Amino acid sequence: MKLWGGRFEKGTSQDVDEFHSSIHFDYRLYRQDILGSIAHAAMLGKQGIISPGEAQTICKGLEEILKDFEEGKIELSAAHEDIHMNIEALLIEKIGQVGKKLHTGRSRNDQIVLDTRMYTREIIHEVIGLLIGLEEQLLELADKHKDTIMPGYTHLQKAQPVTLGHHLMAYFEMFRRDIQRLEDSLKRVDIMPLGSGALAGTTYPLDRQAVARQLGFSVISRNSMDAVAARDFVVEFLSCASIIMMHLSRFCEELILWSTDEFRFVEMDDSYSSGSSIMPQKKNPDVAELIRGKTGRVYGDLISVLTTMKGLPLAYHSDMQEDKEPLFDGMDTVKSCLSIFTGMLKTLKFCPENMLKQASRGFINATDVADYLVLKGIPFRDAHYIVGRLVLYCIHNDKVLDELTLDEYREFSEVFQQDVYEAISLKNCVERRNLPGGPAPSAVTKAVDEGHAWLQEIKSRYKQA
Ligand code: ARG
């Protein structure tokens, strides 16, 4: 018989059991479910709602079940619907009648939110740990390449020279915000919902604060209906995951582009590439492509939960059981992508000579020629025009700015002198962009130092994965 079978005259059909059951995905909440039940039972005993002896028997039974789970000795059944009822049934089987007292003053509606919050809290710590590992890798590479000159692009057209270190530190900043976002979201995950019951709280004198303390929650939920109906913490996790994936995907897109024969800025390690079944020469950046592809999947997880929730009146509905698969999928995907991406980055070979070669073409020091004229007293808008004409002249004569003779320069403006060559050398162009936040090696060194200090502080709070 079902644990809720009293009101029914016949059982559910097997099809319905299977359709309704969530055990094939919510089994992964077993630890959170058992720890939550232990805290609940202990509190029931302390409050005299059940006897201390009964509480002890229940807690001991649950501890044994947890051990059995961890040793792989548990068989779960779809007939018991979900992880909560499977565990309750196992408990009753193990300790007999007294097991039936566990669910006093509790509903699966507050129980599932508790489990999901505890689980999400753990995964957030893991994802932050993985991001820390990625950030360390980026700092190491940025430091190594603080003087490596490369073209910077806008519209995917060569724009101005930057350093590879600076480019990499741009990603450091994105992942820093991802860590901060996750950390901030923890505040809204770290809320203990038990005591909300099905929707309207309970008549038993539960000690909600004691349960929160035992389970390591900072606060208890403030409204029983909101507590069982809210899934914005799920949406928020998936939003954070989606933004992380977007950042990874942009990075992957650059690496894919950079590994083409047209760019040759990087070479992927063989261990992170694969070949073609027909074209013998091919080495494809599959790992980066897959991460880019899986980004769509995580966005899908987010949209799925948002859509599930959008029409639900208060309070609980079975629709909300549909939050688990996208949530777990988003968690698994973002974790595996972060870990594999960091490995790929570690083994990636950068090709500074090709970057420099490309930086020497495409007039990326044109702005610097204009700035040179401004220093000689020409208004910027006029300088812009003069250099535009110079570039056109170069295009027609198949030259770059650095190759023009002084006489050629002076055809366009009398103020050009010998020092123009020095002023527009790539090295100078980069070194002079040394404002805080700029690409100059000196500025990148400062950014890397600041990054290390910040990461140290984060690492004091989270374990690196
Ligand atoms: N398996 C359910 C879920 O994932 C747990 C809560 C079920 N509550 C209920 N009244 N059916 O949301």
**Pocket lining: 116 vs ligand 1, CB cutoff 6 Å:** no
CATH number of the domain enclosing 382? 1.10.40.30
In degrees rounded to 5, what are phi and psi of residue 163? -110, 150
Mean pLDDT, consecutive 10-residue stretches, the chain (465 aa), reads 82 85 96 98 98 98 98 93 96 98 98 98 98 98 98 96 98 98 98 98 98 98 98 98 98 97 94 84 91 98 98 98 98 98 97 97 93 96 96 96 95 96 94 96 98 97 84
Structural tokens at position 101: 């007292």
Are 343 and 390 in a shared domain?
A: no
Tell me whether residue 458 is in a domain: no
Q: Do 360 and 427 meet the contact criterion of CB atoms below 8 Å apart?
A: no
Are 152 and 282 in a shared domain?
A: yes
Are 161 and 192 in a shared domain?
A: yes
Tell me whether residue 434 is in a domain: no
| Residue 40 a catalytic site member | no
Are 213 and 289 in a shared domain?
A: yes
If one residue of 37, 88, 318, 320 were mutated to test the ligand 1 pocket, choosing by the most ligand atoms within 8 A of its CB, it would be 318
User: What is the position in ligand 1's atom list of the atom closest to the CA of 324?
Assistant: 4
**Pocket lining: 221 vs ligand 1, CB cutoff 6 Å:** no
Are 244 and 373 in a shared domain?
A: no
The continuous run of DSSP H or E covering 220 comes out as strand 219-220
- The predicted pLDDT at position 310 comes to 98
Report DSSP state, residue 266: E
d(CA 40, CA 375) in angstroms, rounded, equals: 74
Tell me whether residue 1 is in a domain: no
**Pocket lining: 44 vs ligand 1, CB cutoff 6 Å:** no
Domain end, chosen from 358, 379, 412, is at: 358
**Pocket lining: 130 vs ligand 1, CB cutoff 6 Å:** no
CATH number of the domain enclosing 119? 1.20.200.10
Tell me whether residue 182 is in a domain: yes
| Residue 384 a catalytic site member | no
Are 210 and 226 in a shared domain?
A: yes
In degrees rounded to 5, what are phi and psi of residue 312? -90, 120
User: What is the position in ligand 1's atom list of the atom closest to the CA of 83?
Assistant: 1
The Å distance, Cα 106 to ligand 1 centre, comes to 13
- The predicted pLDDT at position 282 comes to 80
- From the list 51, 218, 276, 442, the catalytic residue is 276
Total structural domains within the chain: 3
Tell me whether residue 60 is in a domain: yes
The continuous run of DSSP H or E covering 173 comes out as helix 164-189
The dihedral formed by the CA atoms of 230, 234, 237 and 240, expressed in degrees to the nearest 10: -80
Tell me whether residue 327 is in a domain: yes
If one residue of 28, 82, 88 were mutated to test the ligand 1 pocket, choosing by the most ligand atoms within 8 A of its CB, it would be 82
- The predicted pLDDT at position 8 comes to 87
Are 125 and 172 in a shared domain?
A: yes
Are 120 and 236 in a shared domain?
A: yes
Report DSSP state, residue 284: B
Tell me whether residue 436 is in a domain: no
d(CA 338, CA 357) in angstroms, rounded, equals: 32
Are 303 and 181 in a shared domain?
A: yes
The Å distance, Cα 113 to ligand 1 centre, comes to 9
Q: Whose CA is nearest to atom 3 of ligand 1?
A: 321
Residue 419 structural domain = 366-424
Are 154 and 100 in a shared domain?
A: no
Are 16 and 159 in a shared domain?
A: no
Tell me whether residue 456 is in a domain: no
Nearest CA to 230 out of 139, 109, 330, 399 is that of 109
d(CA 85, CA 79) in angstroms, rounded, equals: 9
- The predicted pLDDT at position 152 comes to 97
Are 170 and 275 in a shared domain?
A: yes
d(CA 412, CA 428) in angstroms, rounded, equals: 23
Domain end, chosen from 64, 83, 104, is at: 104
- From the list 13, 155, 271, 396, the catalytic residue is 155
- The predicted pLDDT at position 281 comes to 85
Neighbours of 293 (CB within 10 A): 12
The Å distance, Cα 109 to ligand 1 centre, comes to 6
pTM above threshold 0.85: yes
